[in-house]
Structure 1
Amino acid sequence: MESSLSRTQKHNLMSLRLSFLCALLLSLFLFAGFLLYSLDFFDDEAAAKQAIPISFASSDQIGIIKLQPDMFVNESIAGETSLLIDEQQLVGDPGQTKAKPKNAFFTRHHSKWLYPVSFTVDLKAIHAISEIYLYAVNLSSVVKIEGGKPFSWKPLTEEAPAIDKSWRKYTVYADTRYLRFTVEQSINPVELVIKGKPLETVKVATTPANTKRPRQVTMDQLIGVNAFIDDPLDKLNAVGFVREYHNWRWDESQTKTYPNNEKKWNPSYAGGGWNFDDFYRQLKDQDILVAPAMMGTVKWISPDGNKPVPEGKSSEDPASYIAHADHMYQFVARYGSGDVRKAPLKLAPDQDKKAALGLLHYYENWNEQNMDWMGRTHHFTPFEYAAMASADYDGHQGKLGKTVGVKNADPNARMVMGGLAGINLDYIKAIKHWADYNRNGSVPFDVINVHHYSRADKKDGRVGISPEEDNLKERLQELVAYRDAAMPGKEVWITEFGYDTHPRSPQRAPAIASFSQEEVQGQWLVRSYLAIAAAGVDRAAMYMLRDVNPDADVQYCTSGLTSSKETGWKLKPSWYYVYTLKNRLKGMHFTGGAEKAGAMVYTFRNNETGQGAYVVWSPTSTGATIKDYELTIPKNNTSVKKVALANGQQNGIETPLKLTGQQVKFDVTESPVFVLLDKM
Structure 2
Amino acid sequence: MKYSYQMIKLSVFYIILGMNIIGCSKNGAREDSIQGPDIERPSDVGNKPNGIPFSNMLGVNGFDWEYTNNTNAFDDRKFELIKTFTGFRQYLDWDRIEEKEGFYRFSYDEIYKKNQENGITTLACLQIIPQWFREKYYAGEYNVSDRYNSLRDYTPVPKGADKSNPRSYIDMGKLGFQMAARYGNNPSIDPKLIKAVTWGDARDTKIGLGTLKYIECSNEPDKDWRGPEAQQTPEEYAAQLSAFYDGHMGTLGEGVGVKTADPSMNVVMAGIAFPDPKWVEKMIEWCKKNRVKDGQYTLCFDVINYHEYSAKRSGEYWNNPDLNANHGMAPELSNVGKVATNFRKVSEEKAGGLEVWVTECGFDVNERSIQRALPIKNKTTFDSQADWTLRTSLLYARKGIDRVFFYMLNDVNINSDIQYASSGLIEGNERRPSADFLLQAKNLIGEYVYSGTINDDPLVDIYTLGQNKIYVLTVPDQKGREEKYTLDLPGIKGVKIHTPRKGHDSMLSADQALANGKLEVLVTETPTFVEVLN
TM-score normalised over the length of structure 1: 0.64
Residues 484-523 of structure 1 aligned to structure 2 (within 5 Å): 484-523=348-387
Which of the numbers 436, 439, 462 marks the counterpart of 1:579?
A: 439
- Alignment match of 1:251 (pick from 88, 93, 97): 97
Instruction: Classify 1:109/1:674 alpha carbon distance in 2 versus 1 (closer, same or farther; 3 Å).
Output: closer
Q: 1:110 & 1:582 partners in 2: Cα distance? A: 37
* Alignment CA distance shift 1:487-1:591 (3 Å): same
The code of the aligned residue for 1:281 comes to K
Is 1:285 the counterpart of 2:117? The answer is yes
CA separation in 2, counterparts of 1:643 and 1:569?
Answer: 26
1:421 matched residue in structure 2: 273
2:175 aligned to 302, 324, 327, which one?
Answer: 327
Indicate conservation of the 8 Å contact 1:497/1:541, yes or no: yes
CA deviations 1:436-477 (Å, max 9, x no partner) are 111133221000000001111235524211111103222201
- Superposed CA deviations along residues 616-662 of structure 1, whole A, max 9, x for unmatched, are 011111111124x3112364x44311111111012111111221222
Aligned to 2:215: 363
Residues 603 and 312 (structure 1 numbering): CA distance in 2 closer, same or farther, change over 3 Å? same
Tell me the equivalent position of 2:518. 663
Q: Which residue of 2 aligns with 1:591?
A: 451
Aligned to 2:409: 545
C-alpha contact 2:496 2:533 (8 A) present in aligned 1: no
Equivalence for 1:70: none
1:457-503 Cα shifts (integer Å, max 9, x gaps): 23552421111110322220111011110001311000001110011
| Mapped contact 1:233–1:283 kept (Cα < 8 A) | no
Return the match for 1:606 from 465, 476, 499: 465
Contact 1:368 1:418 in 2 (8 A): yes
Alpha-carbon distance between aligned partners in 2 of 1:536 and 1:222, rounded to the nearest angstrom: 10
Aligned match for 1:455, one of 311, 324, 333: 311
Residues 491 and 540 of structure 1, relative CA distance in 2, 3 Å threshold: same
In the alignment, does 2:104 pair up with 1:263? yes
Alpha-carbon shift at residue 404 of structure 1 (Å): 0.9
Instruction: Calculate the TM-score normalised by the size of structure 2.
Output: 0.81
Instruction: Indicate conservation of the 8 Å contact 1:218/1:587, yes or no.
Output: yes
Provide the rounded CA distance (Å) in 2 between the counterparts of 1:253 and 1:600: 51
What is the deviation of 1:252? Answer: 1.1
Pairing 1:185-334 to 2, within 5 Å after superposition: 216-231=51-66, 232-254=78-100, 257=101, 261-265=102-106, 275-302=107-134, 304-305=151-152, 306-334=154-182
Moved over 6 A (4+): none
Name the structure 1 match of 2:71. none
More strand by share: 1
Q: Percent identity?
A: 31
Q: Mean Cα displacement is larger for which, 454-463 or 491-500?
A: 454-463
Residue in 1 aligned with 2:321?
none
Instruction: Report the 3-state secondary structure (helix = DSSP H, G, I; strand = E; otherwise coil) of the residue aligned with 1:420.
Output: coil
In the alignment, structure 2 segments of 5+ residues that lack a partner are: 1-24, 29-47, 67-77, 135-141, 143-150, 316-323
| Mapped contact 1:462–1:510 kept (Cα < 8 A) | no
> How far 1:603 sits from its partner (Å)?
0.7
Greater relative contact order, per chain length (Cα 8 Å cut-off, separation 6+) = 2
Aligned partners of 1:602, 1:244: CA distance in 2, in Å? Answer: 32
* Structure 2 residue 240 is matched with structure 1 residue 388: yes
RMSD of aligned C-alpha atoms?
A: 2.1
Q: CA deviation at 1:504?
A: 0.5
SS in 2 for 1:412: coil
Could you give the per-residue CA deviations for residues 129-173 of structure 1, whole angstroms, max 9, x where no partner exists? xxxxxxxxxxxxxxxxxxxxxxxxxxxxxxxxxxxxxxxxxxxxx
Provide Cα deviations, 1:87-138, integer angstroms capped at 9, x if missing partner.
xxxxxxxxxxxxxxxxxxxxx8579xxxxxxxxxxxxxxxxxxxxxxxxxxx
One-letter identity of the residue aligned with 2:166: P
More helix by share: 2
Larger Rg: 1
Q: Which residue does 1:341 correspond to in 2?
A: 189
Within a 5 Å distance, the mapping from 1:100-119 to structure 2 comes to 109=26
| SS of the residue 1:605 aligns to | strand
Residues in 1 aligned to 2:379 and 2:454: alpha-carbon distance in whole angstroms: 25
* Mapped partners of 2:312, 2:415: distance in 1: 23
Name the count of aligned residue pairs: 449
Distance 1:571 1:548 in 2: 16
Map of 1:68 onto structure 2 = none
User: What amino acid is the match of 1:520?
Assistant: S
CA contact 2:177–2:260 (8 Å) conserved in 1: yes
Contact 1:657/1:665 (<8 A) preserved: no
Corresponding letter in the other structure for 2:111: F
Given that residues 361 and 414 in structure 1 are in contact (C-alpha distance below 8 angstroms), is that contact kept between their aligned partners in structure 2? yes
2:366–2:372 Cα contact (<8 Å) kept:
yes
Does the 8 Å contact 2:281/2:346 carry over to 1?
no
Partner of 2:14: none
Q: Distance in 1 between matches of 2:346 and 2:454?
A: 23
Residues 243 and 292 in structure 1, CA contact (< 8 A), matched pair in contact too: yes
Tell whether 2:498 aligns with 1:623.
no
Of the three residues 524, 527, 530, the one matched with 1:672 is 527
Can you list the C-alpha shifts for 1:499-556, whole angstroms capped at 9, x where unaligned?
1001100101110112111110110111111110111110000101111101001000
C-alpha contact 1:336 1:360 (8 A) present in aligned 2 = yes
**Is the Cα contact below 8 Å between 1:262 and 1:346 reproduced in 2?**
yes
The answer as to whether partners of 1:455 and 1:463 remain within 8 angstroms in 2 is yes
Residues 631 and 384 of structure 1: is their aligned pair in 2 closer, same or farther, counting only changes over 3 Å?
A: same
Q: 1:216 to 1:496 in 2, by over 3 A?
A: farther
Whether the aligned pair in 2 keeps the contact of 1:242 and 1:541 (CA below 8 Å) is yes
Q: Is the 8 A contact 2:50 2:451 kept in 1?
A: no
Q: 1:314 to 1:606 in 2, by over 3 A?
A: same
Classify 1:216/1:351 alpha carbon distance in 2 versus 1 (closer, same or farther; 3 Å).
Answer: farther
CA distance in 1, matches of 2:162, 2:444: 51
Measure the CA separation in 2 of the matches of 1:535 and 1:110: 25
Which residue does the alignment assign to 1:469? 333
